[in-house]
Amino acid sequence: MSVAPMMDYTDRHCRYLLRLLSPSALLYTEMITSAAIVRGKADRLLAYDPAEHPVALQLGGSDPAELATAARIGAEFGYDEINLNCGCPSDRVQSGRFGACLMAEPSLVAECVSAMKGVTDIPITVKCRIGIEPSPIADDYEFLHGFVSRVAQSGCDIFVVHARRAVLNGLSPKENREIPPLRYDVAAQLRGDFPQFTFIVNGGIRTVDEVRDHLQHFDGAMLGREAYHNPYILAQLHESIIDPQWTPPAREDVVARYAEYCAARLAEGHRLRTMVRHVQGLYAGLPNVRAWRRFLSEKSGQPAATAGLLMDALRIVEQAA
């Protein structure tokens, strides 16, 4: 089980909250460009709480030497995995020659992976789509097979596959998560042709039953927006699939522990609003969740607000229950 790298979502505060809900899910950072790390911003960009382990660093870039330097720095910070982004379709990412457009250059991706593997012993993995549009090859699986085959020659043996094409022109990143059809069948063929590798499926996964079904065809499942907007599903997944003897934490206990975390980070200069926003989905689907979200949204921006507002918001939910 893993939670996808999501820009503007999976920062260090979000990951700490998710770890309170799942003791084992692999958590990913937001994509961080190799250039930003190499140019001296590593301390700010790569800081995290030790409780987040296992945690993976996702890099964006296409310069093998620069990526190798960033990977080495990431390994020195203690990350458990370095992942190369070959799936983001945004115009800004394409302009930097990384993300999904790199799927058109599998030899370059292989060179990047090889350079990163040369400087660290931790896993170097790749996250990609099943294909891109426009594509040099019409058949999605032929294109995907060729990409994996070439990149694997660099020593990469773990691939996270978002089971949609990336449309490189004409769709926004949000539309690229919704409009291109999901083709789990295309991604699932990889396991038969490359049984020695590990394949994790990503894209559109929302329920425990869906995860269970996917694990019949893949080695792992990665949740994205669902894990953010309904984070308690991570606790349900751990109990259902990983350890049936484990008891999921009560939501109110999660709130109390996260409030302690927020208080500690506030003392370090972090902003309350940036931390509180991540917990708004904790009561998704339960009574008075709108009041919970509204209270947190309105109060967290006030100058005098403290981490205690989380406990105040909790009373709203308890009264509704």
User: Of the residues 14, 86, 88, 262, which is catalytic?
Assistant: 88
DSSP code of 242?
Answer: I
How far is it, in rounded angstroms, from Cα 154 to Cα 115?
A: 9
How far is it, in rounded angstroms, from Cα 164 to Cα 140?
A: 10
169: its two tokens: 């022109």
Q: Which residues of 196-224 are buried (b: 16+ CB within 10 A; e: fewer)?
A: eeebbbbbbbeeeebbeebeebbebbbbb
Q: Is 115 helix (H, G, I), strand (E, B) or coil?
A: helix
pLDDT of residue 40: 81
pLDDT in tens, 114-171: 999 999 999 999 999 999 998 878 888 999 999 999 999 999 999 999 999 999 988 8
104: pLDDT strictly greater than 90: yes
7: its two tokens: 């820009």
How far is it, in rounded angstroms, from Cα 91 to Cα 96?
A: 9
Which structural domains are found in the chain, ordered by start?
A: 2-242 (3.20.20.70), 251-320 (1.20.120.1460)
DSSP string, 177-210: TTSSPP-HHHHHHHHHH-TTSEEEEESS--SHHH
Binding site per annotation, positions for FMN:
5-7, 58, 127, 162, 202-204, 224-225
Nearest residue to 281 via CA among 177, 173, 206, 175:
206
Q: Which residues contact 122 (CB under 8 A, 6 or more apart)?
A: 75, 79, 80, 81, 82
pLDDT in tens, 221-276: 999 999 999 999 999 999 999 999 999 999 999 999 999 999 999 999 999 999 99
pLDDT in tens, 70-81: 999 999 999 999
User: Is 88 a known active-site residue?
Assistant: yes
How far is it, in rounded angstroms, from Cα 139 to Cα 154?
A: 24
pLDDT in tens, 274-319: 999 999 999 999 988 899 999 999 999 999 999 999 999 998 888 8
